[in-house]
């Protein structure tokens, strides 16, 4: 290890233990590998890299663009999670209303054809119920996933907030959570793709109005191929 770095490390005020060498404190940053390191890491793993002393570069980091971008990404991700939760809740209400409206149409029409419609009504109601349950089950499963992402974001935010008064520790923590933030962004994008609703509606069968004995009596439930989603 360069003597200059060893001497300067004595002035380092960080106290974050190294992941690889827990008994050593992290004091150095390797720009080549985007890694924070202790003295052992520098000596054995980053010997050929140009190493920076965290105490010398961390003071300006808090007010720099990289840290600002990380905080912006966290804020954007948190907003995205909240938007996702709102959209999930909105879609759940929508599918329930959709089911209610279409069932109402079906039953209003059934009054015109009375007893003959009993068998067809039960069949069509079953299809509607299955479609509703399919979408609701998927959407219900998204809410805890969103809550989990939100909890992880808040943990990251609290970890950064806790180091606001120590620029060196803040630098280390920010570097540590950067990839976690990117991973959570990918998870949120995946959730957004799942937050969809199948569009379907009850369609009256014109033959039923003329001939009650038709095999297609009462109508059919036809699923619209369009999938509703609020995420782009």
Range with top average pLDDT, 4-13, 72-81, 200-209, 221-230:
72-81
Ranges 68-72, 142-146, 225-229: which has the least confidence: 225-229
**CA neighbor of 187 nearest in space, from 153, 139, 227:** 153
**CA neighbor of 61 nearest in space, from 139, 178, 146:** 178
Of 57, 74, 89, the last residue of a domain is 57
Of 40, 57, 74, the last residue of a domain is 57
Do 38 and 128 lie in a common domain? no
The answer on pLDDT for 192 being more than 90 is no
Average pLDDT of the residues in 179-193: 90
Do 72 and 153 lie in a common domain? yes
Q: Which two tokens stand for residue 27?
A: 């004091």
Residue that the structure tokens 């990404």 belong to: 73
The answer on pLDDT for 6 being more than 70 is no
Q: How many domains does the chain have?
A: 2
Q: Output the domain CATH number for residue 30.
A: 3.30.160.60
Do 37 and 107 lie in a common domain? no
Radius of gyration of the chain (CA): 30
Which residues lie below 8 Å from residue 36, measured CB to CB, with a gap of 6+?
16, 26, 28, 29, 30, 54, 171, 172, 175, 176
Q: Contact at 8 Å (CB) between 59 and 52?
A: no
Longest alpha-carbon distance in the chain: 98
CA distance linking residue 82 with residue 132, whole number of Å: 24
Do 26 and 101 lie in a common domain? no
Domain residues for 14?
A: 3-57
Query: How open is the CA angle 215-227-86, to the nearest 5 degrees?
Result: 125
pLDDT in tens, 106-144: 888 777 767 777 787 788 889 889 988 888 988 888 899
Do 158 and 218 lie in a common domain? yes
Tell me what pLDDT residue 231 has. 46
Q: Which pTM does this prediction carry?
A: 0.48
Do 47 and 21 lie in a common domain? yes
pLDDT in tens, 22-59: 999 989 998 888 889 888 888 877 677 888 898 888 88
Q: Which residue has the higher pLDDT, 230 or 45?
A: 45
Do 51 and 138 lie in a common domain? no
Residue that the structure tokens 């909105």 belong to: 90
CA distance linking residue 226 with residue 232, whole number of Å: 15
Tell me what pLDDT residue 1 has. 47
């Amino acid at each position: 290890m360069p003597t200059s770095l060893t001497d300067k490390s004595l002035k380092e005020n960080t106290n974050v233990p190294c992941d690889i060498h827990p008994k050593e404190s992290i004091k150095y940053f390797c720009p080549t590998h985007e890694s924070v390191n202790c003295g052992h890491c520098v000596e054995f793993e980053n010997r050929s890299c140009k190493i920076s002393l965290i105490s010398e570069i961390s003071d300006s980091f808090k007010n720099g663009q990289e840290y600002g971008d990380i905080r912006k990404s966290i804020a954007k991700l948190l907003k995205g999670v909240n938007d996702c939760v709102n959209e999930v809740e909105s879609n759940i209400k929508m599918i329930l209303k959709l089911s209610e409206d279409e069932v109402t149409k079906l039953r209003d029409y059934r009054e015109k054809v009375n007893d003959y419609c009993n068998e067809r009504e039960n069949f069509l109601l079953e299809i509607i119920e299955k479609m509703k349950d399919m979408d609701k089950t998927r959407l219900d499963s998204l809410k805890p996933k969103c809550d989990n992402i939100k909890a992880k974001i808040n943990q990251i935010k609290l970890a950064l907030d806790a180091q606001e008064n120590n620029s060196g520790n803040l630098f280390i923590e920010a570097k540590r959570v950067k990839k976690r933030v990117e991973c959570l962004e990918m998870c949120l994008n995946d959730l957004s793709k799942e937050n969809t609703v199948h569009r379907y509606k009850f369609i009256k069968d014109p033959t039923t109005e003329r001939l009650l004995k038709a095999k297609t009596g009462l109508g059919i439930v036809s699923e619209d191929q369009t999938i509703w989603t609020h995420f782009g």
